[in-house]
Structure 1
Amino acid sequence: MTELPKTFDPAEIESRWYAHWEDKGLFAPERPGADPWTLVNPPPNVTGSLHIGHALDNTLQDILVRHARLKGKDARWVVGTDHAGIATQMVVERQLNAKQQKRTDFTRDEFVAKVWEWKEESGGEITQQLRRLGCSMDWANERFTMDPGFSRAVLKVFVELYRQKLLYRDKRLVNWDPGLGTAISDLEVETTDVKGGFWHIRYPLEDGSGFIEVATTRPETMLADMAVAVHPTDERYTALVGKQVRLPITGRLIPIITDEHADPELGSGAVKITPGHDFNDFEVGKRSGIKAGDMLNMLDAKANIAQTSDGLIPADLIGMERFAARKAVVALLKEQGFLIPHIDKDGNEHDAEPRTIATPFGDRSGVVIEPWLTDQWYVDAATLAKPAIEAVRSGATKIVPKSWEKTYFNWMENIQPWCVSRQLWWGHRIPAWFGPDGLILVGETFEEAIANYIENWTTASGDFFDSEQIIECTDDEQPRLVEDADGLQTLYVKRDLDVLDTWFSSALWPFATLGWPDAQFLPPDQPNPLAGRYPNDVLISGFDILFFWDARMMMQGIHFMGQQGKLPLPQAVPFKTLYLHGLVRAADGAKMSKSKGNVVNPLGLIENYGADALRFFMAAMESQGRDIKMDEKRIEGYRNFATKLWNAARFAQSNGIGASATLEAPEASLAVNRWIIAETVATVQALDLALADLRFDEAANTIYQFTWSRFCDWYLELIKPVLQTEGAEGADETRAVAGWVLDQILVMLHPFMPFITEELWSKMGPREHELIVAKWPMADARALDPAAAQEIDWLIRLVSEIRAARTELNVPPGARLPVHVRDASAETVARLSRQDAAIARLARVDQASGDAPEGGALQIVVDEATFVLPIAGVVDLEAERERLKKAIAAAEKERDGLAGRLNNPSFVERAKPEAVEKARADHAEKAAEAERLSAALARLG
């Protein structure tokens, strides 16, 4: 046994123990024959740093993996980072800009080399920060989504999906970031309310008989309008349907069509349709028969005005920045008499009606996102979604909380094609080569692409190409077919410049990290790394990436491990359970953001309170997907909890209590020892159930209450007389039991607070192994002892009642009071005899014989017996009665005032939710206070 310092210092303990665990390989101990258990970490961006959401997500994962390891399973937590295409490219470009250089100053290969150089030098900072949080990940097998093995998996999936016609090239609208020059996902779009306008415009009918009024928040897009839509049932426009209008400025003739997208109740009921620049209009255009290839595009990649295919945009607008073009278009409309002015309530005239508009911005570039019509690669998500839907319906994958199933089904059943190409240099370059006349060659390598498609390509004369006649041209060249003087033809093909969306590669994470596809080709005598590891046991994820990552893993995993790997559905799903947690919000419930200045740095919290305290807070507050409100006071409270455990261990050491020699509970005869053993077993049972149900808050509360209340506050107090009285009966038994219980606490608490528990485990006596690989306690029902439990629970209730009554009646803490007992049963009399020393010591009372004297007395009823404690001469009874009456009146007045506010519908409906919630809490507190003080007054008689 090594004596513990007086002061608990988390920082020193945490750095020392984490290095020890990792150096000894204890995060993936060798356990031949043990049941495999696998969890994959959502790969953070290689550019990232630990934020409070990471702290929650990874704490929950670590709790599960440490629990599985303690249960004796071959637990593996797969760890790695995502190459984060856009974010990483931006980091390196910023570094170049600081040197007055640009990406385009280098060849593509040179720039990519610089990114790899940055990755080796600076990437992965977050992995060090995850270590500070205590994450017991399998670092020896760390993966990166651009590793050679992982890249092979990505290319194979692309090629296989293409061959199966589940991945294709198409022209559709995408979220286009003009600042970055690439398509981005919905997750990378942040919508912000911006003050804007609503312009009303006259579109004149071609026959000169009048006009139709439309309104828009983006008047510049009229340059690419292709129709005006009205609702099929809108009788105002029945006679106009089928007619044409001549657009102002461009003079383009466009038809008036019907479509249910037009809302008769909104504005004039007629809407301009710009299918090349609006997602809703794109669908209207398709329904009206306009092919995507024929839709007009009026912007270039930088969102500057570009000439449309019909050449009708005036030359002086070409090249103009989009928002400057908006002003120019409005000025032209006004000049030509097509702008309908807005008249405000004071009769003043304005060009537009003021509106607050939900505007999409790129989360990294900060520029307004444009719906833009481009050729991109798409995955047929609707087909891949069907088995993923069935997986959840059948229970092959269970979603927790179950309430998220409805959202999952709704999105999956209405899923749109998935755009997987990005216009970047960093990432998995798409393995496709373009030739002339729409030819596309696809293969994992250039040679494979040629081999796959060469037999299907012929020239107009019917000549076949061989591999030597197909050449890969540079990125700067164009694909072409060249014939030399002898008539020999050479086909020059150009590789796609785009890379794959990082969500495409991360969708393969549950199986590509385990060695797929190489594992499929291992000899039979070699162990397959996928065996027993796929499906993963559980996935912990924020609900906000349910569709971007979780659902896509479901689709890709089932397709490639099911259809391709010939596994039935229950074995093809990527994870058996999907747990979706909420967001960590600011203390007032607001979403954290840098712009609001309410972001909390988890590393700062670790510095102040230790990783154990932050981890316990996360677990204790995680209630099946509900958002968590940040509360630094609670974290401080859990630091105090760690200190209390530390002091309990020091008390144990000072009283000869050390490490237990057995996993099973020691033999015990004293009721207090039989009681704490039973309480320990009940805690193990409750903890096992809570973790099995993924009730992290319940699990944390279970071990917290047992450790603080049952063990520290009561058991250690109850056994002090035995431990500190020389020759006391049962002292050796009590030391053995106390050491065993403390050991069980350390093991049960370890998944939540790994550092302090490992430190205490090592200091309580010699051990065969570290706590991280110890054995989880046995929930042995034979240890439950109802008789002992009833007796000690009775003792605790009696002492608690006496203590509370003394406090309420202002009995001096040092005053010892006699206690007389009335109507006690034989069982109570026996208990009083057995527990006399504990009652005298903890309640500061002495048992007295005979009837209680006349006069004021404190009376307590516990079960059938009444305990009378005379306090005349100790307390001024009249003064105490007056004090209690005044306190009762004050509490009742506040209670009734709050009740009046809460019964006022105006307050409940109009006040802020947090104000109503506080009023209810205050009302409950004052009502309880009034009741408690009234009971105290009644005790005085």
Structure 2
Amino acid sequence: ARMMMFGMHFMKDDAGRSMVPFKDVYIHALVRDEHGQKMSKSKGNVIDPLELIDQYGADALRFTLTAMAAQGRDVKLATSRVEGYRNFTTKLWNAVRFAEMNEVCVRPDFHPDHVKLQVNGWILEALGQAVADVDRALKEYRFNDAAGAVYRFAWNQLCDWYLEMAKPYLNGDDEAQKAEIRACLAHVIETCLRLSHPFLPFITEDIWQQTSLLGDQKRGWLAKAPWPEARHGIHANDHVMVGRAIEMIEAVRSTRVELGIKPGAMVPASLVLAQNDRDAVASMLTFISRLARIDVLEVTDIPDARAINVVAGQATICLRVEELLDLNAEIAKLAGDMEKLDKQIAGLDGKLANQGFVAKAPEEVVVAERTRREELAAKRSQLDDASQRMKGLLAAQN
């Protein structure tokens, strides 16, 4: 009320009439400890924000509070969350360093609508969608959703996928493709810095002032730079096709982990694709093979009965693992692991079925035990799936 009254007293229009200083009021959540308890000195659970800033940086704390500020829900603050978002700022910094090491620089003549490479179309479509998501969330005061959109784009799409997909082009001999990758990467990082600035003002401003990525252009302050424009829909087809390739890579990676295949091992494989999909996927085989660690021997329309078949959307990847795994030994090992998990799950079931424990134990302890039980059950299900895959492959070989 006082802010409104003082504002109307001191803010006048040209005619000397009082002006309403603001029309919207945002009431932020209460910051609690990681267990949802209100912080107090008597409980000894107070987290000093200045200590967090000294340890992890102001940007990490700012992003943590923003990412957790869901409407109608209190913030459960844990130092581990702040540390996690500190790692996010490091990830962004390393992406810029990677670009600088590969001689990436903003080109004034670059136009995002005219890219030819599918990977560039994919990242530009993702960037446009991220800007639109942040715009929408900020307009609706959903600051956590805005921070989440920035995080997903910068960490998952830019750093985890696009940089990896760009490496073969940057290390290749085709100068035209290399030039397009460099120009597109510069555009994406420059836009990402502007998009991230409200959430990470210090590190983004520092990068903006120091990076060679922006070239000799007069850069000024990032805080005064134009807000990015949401441009999406132009490269929608590239986004779909590269998205399918990513789905294939993720499916193969998940299966490799389930089967215990060494990360560096190349797995012989064949791809089962519909005839009308082969040309589109063929252009992406290089980074599918590189990122999934598979050696594609053929593209066919018949699944391999002697392989472990991994379904990813409309494609099937047939992994020939018989020379990489001792199937009988792996099945026995999985059976032992599942037996241990069964005992742990049974113990937790007994504890949670005890009404005395549920009634007397602190709520956060009960919740933690239930969460642990769910995690163990999910892991047990994954091991069982892997065991069934191996048994099926063993039966096909015999």
TM over 0.5: yes
Could you tell me how far apart the structure 1 residues matched to 2:295 and 2:99 are? 28
Could you tell me how far apart the structure 1 residues matched to 2:172 and 2:96 are? 20
Check conservation: 1:821, 1:867, Cα contact below 8 A.
Answer: yes
Match of 1:70 in 2: none
State the AA in 1 paired with 2:4.
P
- Which residues of 2 match residues 450-849 of structure 1 at below 5 A? 507-513=1-7, 516=9, 524=15, 531=19, 534-536=20-22, 576-659=23-106, 661=108, 665-762=112-209, 763=211, 764-765=213-214, 766-783=217-234, 785-822=235-272, 824-849=273-298
State the AA in 2 paired with 1:668.
V
Could you tell me how far apart the structure 2 residues matched to 1:689 and 1:725 are? 39
Higher share of residues assigned strand? 1
Could you tell me how far apart the structure 1 residues matched to 2:332 and 2:221 are? 60
Q: 1:912 to 1:700 in 2, by over 3 A?
A: same
Deviations 1:240-271, CA, capped at 9 Å, x for gaps:
xxxxxxxxxxxxxxxxxxxxxxxxxxxxxxxx
Please report how far the alpha carbon of residue 900 of structure 1 lies from its aligned counterpart in structure 2 after TM superposition: 4.8
RMSD: 2.5
- Which residues of 2 match residues 199-598 of structure 1 at below 5 A? 507-513=1-7, 516=9, 524=15, 531=19, 534-536=20-22, 576-598=23-45
Check conservation: 1:746, 1:761, Cα contact below 8 A.
Answer: yes
Deviations 1:358-382, CA, capped at 9 Å, x for gaps:
xxxxxxxxxxxxxxxxxxxxxxxxx
Give the greater-gyration-radius structure (CA): 1
Deviations 1:638-689, CA, capped at 9 Å, x for gaps:
1111111111000011112223648973521111111111111111111111
Check conservation: 1:666, 1:740, Cα contact below 8 A.
Answer: no
Please report how far the alpha carbon of residue 636 of structure 1 lies from its aligned counterpart in structure 2 after TM superposition: 0.9
State the AA in 2 paired with 1:601.
D
Which sits farther off after the overlay, 715-724 or 895-904?
895-904
Could you tell me how far apart the structure 2 residues matched to 1:893 and 1:830 are? 50
Could you tell me how far apart the structure 1 residues matched to 2:338 and 2:17 are? 70
State the AA in 2 paired with 1:608.
Q
State the AA in 2 paired with 1:510.
M
State the AA in 1 paired with 2:168.
P
Check conservation: 1:666, 1:737, Cα contact below 8 A.
Answer: no
Check conservation: 2:91, 2:155, Cα contact below 8 A.
Answer: yes
Could you tell me how far apart the structure 1 residues matched to 2:199 and 2:17 are? 29
Over the matched positions of the two proteins, sequence identity in percent amounts to 37
Could you tell me how far apart the structure 2 residues matched to 1:869 and 1:696 are? 43
Please report how far the alpha carbon of residue 692 of structure 1 lies from its aligned counterpart in structure 2 after TM superposition: 1.6
Please report how far the alpha carbon of residue 590 of structure 1 lies from its aligned counterpart in structure 2 after TM superposition: 2.4
| Match of residue 862, structure 1, among 290, 312, 332 | 312
Deviations 1:276-333, CA, capped at 9 Å, x for gaps:
xxxxxxxxxxxxxxxxxxxxxxxxxxxxxxxxxxxxxxxxxxxxxxxxxxxxxxxxxx
Please report how far the alpha carbon of residue 769 of structure 1 lies from its aligned counterpart in structure 2 after TM superposition: 2.4
Match of 1:935 in 2: 385
Could you tell me how far apart the structure 2 residues matched to 1:938 and 1:592 are? 49
- Which residues of 2 match residues 143-182 of structure 1 at below 5 A? none
Could you tell me how far apart the structure 2 residues matched to 1:663 and 1:775 are? 18
Secondary structure of residue in 2 paired with 1:581: coil
Secondary structure of residue in 1 paired with 2:26: strand
Check conservation: 2:303, 2:316, Cα contact below 8 A.
Answer: no
Could you tell me how far apart the structure 1 residues matched to 2:232 and 2:288 are? 29
Check conservation: 1:511, 1:530, Cα contact below 8 A.
Answer: no
Check conservation: 1:666, 1:736, Cα contact below 8 A.
Answer: no
Deviations 1:44-85, CA, capped at 9 Å, x for gaps:
xxxxxxxxxxxxxxxxxxxxxxxxxxxxxxxxxxxxxxxxxx
Check conservation: 1:585, 1:629, Cα contact below 8 A.
Answer: yes
Q: 1:781 to 1:666 in 2, by over 3 A?
A: closer
Could you tell me how far apart the structure 1 residues matched to 2:64 and 2:178 are? 37
Please report how far the alpha carbon of residue 905 of structure 1 lies from its aligned counterpart in structure 2 after TM superposition: 4.9
Q: 1:831 to 1:603 in 2, by over 3 A?
A: same
Secondary structure of residue in 1 paired with 2:128: helix
Could you tell me how far apart the structure 1 residues matched to 2:138 and 2:355 are? 42
- Which residues of 2 match residues 188-203 of structure 1 at below 5 A? none
Please report how far the alpha carbon of residue 853 of structure 1 lies from its aligned counterpart in structure 2 after TM superposition: 7.8
Q: 1:854 to 1:770 in 2, by over 3 A?
A: same
Please report how far the alpha carbon of residue 918 of structure 1 lies from its aligned counterpart in structure 2 after TM superposition: 0.9
Match of 1:886 in 2: 336
Check conservation: 2:195, 2:228, Cα contact below 8 A.
Answer: yes
State the AA in 2 paired with 1:841.
R
Higher share of residues assigned helix? 2
Q: 1:796 to 1:820 in 2, by over 3 A?
A: same
Check conservation: 1:791, 1:831, Cα contact below 8 A.
Answer: yes
Please report how far the alpha carbon of residue 698 of structure 1 lies from its aligned counterpart in structure 2 after TM superposition: 1.4
Match of 2:395 in 1: none
Q: 1:700 to 1:806 in 2, by over 3 A?
A: same
Please report how far the alpha carbon of residue 791 of structure 1 lies from its aligned counterpart in structure 2 after TM superposition: 1.0
Please report how far the alpha carbon of residue 814 of structure 1 lies from its aligned counterpart in structure 2 after TM superposition: 2.3
Could you tell me how far apart the structure 2 residues matched to 1:751 and 1:661 are? 25
Secondary structure of residue in 1 paired with 2:25: strand
Check conservation: 2:241, 2:281, Cα contact below 8 A.
Answer: no
Q: 1:865 to 1:938 in 2, by over 3 A?
A: farther
Please report how far the alpha carbon of residue 755 of structure 1 lies from its aligned counterpart in structure 2 after TM superposition: 0.8
Could you tell me how far apart the structure 1 residues matched to 2:18 and 2:313 are? 60
Could you tell me how far apart the structure 1 residues matched to 2:356 and 2:111 are? 61
Q: 1:582 to 1:870 in 2, by over 3 A?
A: same
Could you tell me how far apart the structure 2 residues matched to 1:782 and 1:843 are? 28
Unaligned runs of 5+ in 1: 1-506, 537-575
Q: 1:881 to 1:695 in 2, by over 3 A?
A: same
Could you tell me how far apart the structure 1 residues matched to 2:344 and 2:276 are? 44
Could you tell me how far apart the structure 1 residues matched to 2:127 and 2:304 are? 43
State the AA in 2 paired with 1:862.
A
Check conservation: 1:678, 1:789, Cα contact below 8 A.
Answer: yes
Check conservation: 1:722, 1:729, Cα contact below 8 A.
Answer: no
Please report how far the alpha carbon of residue 754 of structure 1 lies from its aligned counterpart in structure 2 after TM superposition: 0.3
State the AA in 1 paired with 2:368.
K
Check conservation: 1:747, 1:774, Cα contact below 8 A.
Answer: yes
Check conservation: 1:860, 1:867, Cα contact below 8 A.
Answer: yes
Unaligned runs of 5+ in 2: 393-398
TM-score by length of 2: 0.88
Q: 1:745 to 1:926 in 2, by over 3 A?
A: same
Match of 2:396 in 1: none
State the AA in 2 paired with 1:733.
E
Q: 1:673 to 1:510 in 2, by over 3 A?
A: same
| Match of residue 325, structure 2, among 867, 870, 875 | 875
Check conservation: 1:799, 1:839, Cα contact below 8 A.
Answer: yes
Check conservation: 1:858, 1:868, Cα contact below 8 A.
Answer: yes
Could you tell me how far apart the structure 2 residues matched to 1:665 and 1:657 are? 16
State the AA in 1 paired with 2:274.
S
Could you tell me how far apart the structure 2 residues matched to 1:761 and 1:748 are? 12
State the AA in 2 paired with 1:813.
P
Q: 1:511 to 1:769 in 2, by over 3 A?
A: farther
